[in-house]
Amino acid sequence: MDRYRVAPEAVIDLTQWDPQEHAAFDGKKKQSRPVLKELNARLGALQELLYAEGKHKVLVVLQATDTGGKDGVIRHVFRGVNPQGVKVASFKVPTPKELAHDYLWRIHQQTPGRGEITIFNRSHYEDVLVVRVKGLVPPEVWARRYEHINAFEKLLADEGTTILKFFLHISKDEQRERLEKRLARPDKHWKFNPGDLKDRALWEDYQEAYEAVLSRTSTPWAPWYIVPANRKWYRNLVIGTVLVETLKGLEMAYPEPDFDPAAQVIV
């Protein structure tokens, strides 16, 4: 999966990253299903171990343009994982209380504790994406936030948080098809927001903003992965594989009991 990891200080041009690519899996959607099922099982076992050991914290950041597939990743990649040790935090338009604090205040409150996996469905990066593209603050304000974010994530990493950040990369044509499918299905109308079309008109501006994020905030302690996401099944395989490999690398172990199991008598 290193092919998708953004090297620190790399200069990213998203036109050079194919959202349709699926080079790491020589198969098709049907053949991917048992592979994802196995990844689900391995992730479930590793998450239980993480929770039982109670030492490590894992933060998963999902960012994408509209229809990029963040909800789908949560639904399919984390299928079967015990919800007791996993939480999802979504960051909508800030409330008045949140706006009264610095922009990272609401984010820090949602970071994982020991033994937990937290998934950010959108994140603190909205403050250098939406805020930048829509001009909600002056350029001199959002421009210094890259440094803030790197320092914030370094703090989390220094305090024991493993951070994985995934940009779900889809093409503009793929987004159009997904929006059309939402309009064509009454059971998907709730997912369609006419405001999404205004954001779609700003596609190039958002791509430029994402390129800046990926270029300036992929660090050794909090790397970005650019995930080809036109094929949903391949997106899920990539993210599932990175998660499993990362959790395995933590070299976790179940805690030793503070009693003698053999001496216990159950009557």
CATH number, domain containing residue 112:
3.40.50.300
Residue 42 lies in a domain: yes
Residue 266 lies in a domain: no
Q: How far is C-alpha 129 from the chain's CA centre?
A: 15
pLDDT tens digits for range 7-23:
999 999 999 999 999 99
| 123: its two tokens | 């994140």
Residue 258 lies in a domain: no
Residue 84: pLDDT over 90:
no
**Which residue is it, tokens 């349709």?**
20
Residue 259 lies in a domain: no
The mean pLDDT value of the chain amounts to 96
Q: Among 160-169, 190-199, 229-238, which stretch is predicted with the lowest mean pLDDT?
A: 190-199
Q: Residue 27: pLDDT band by 50, 70, 90 thresholds? A: confident
The three state secondary structure string of the chain is CHHHECCCCCCCCHHHCCCCCCCCCCCCHHHHHHHHHHHHHHHHHHHHHHHHHCCCEEEEEEEECCCCCHHHHHHHHCCCCCHHHEEEEECCCCCHHHHCCCCCHHHHCCCCCCCCEEEEECCHHHHHCHHHHCCCCCHHHHCCHHHHHHHHHHHHHHCCEEEEEEEEECCHHHHHHHHHHHHHCHHHHHHCCCHHHHHHCCHHHHHHHHHHHHHHCCECCECEEEEECCCHHHHHHHHHHHHHHHHHCCCCCCCCCCCCHHHCCCC
Residue 195 lies in a domain: yes
Residue 56: pLDDT over 90:
yes
Q: Considering only residues 1 and 42, tell me which one the structure prediction assigns the higher pLDDT.
A: 42
Residue 14 lies in a domain: yes
Residue 267 lies in a domain: no
Q: Are 110 and 120 in contact (CB under 8 A)?
A: yes
pTM: 0.95
Q: What is the mean pLDDT of residues 41-68?
A: 97
* Total count of domains within the chain: 1
Range of the domain at 209: 2-253
Q: How far is it, in rounded angstroms, from Cα 53 to Cα 256?
A: 9
Q: Which of 170, 166, 167, 164 is nearest to 232 (CA)?
A: 170
Residue 260 lies in a domain: no
pLDDT tens digits for range 59-76:
999 999 999 999 999 999
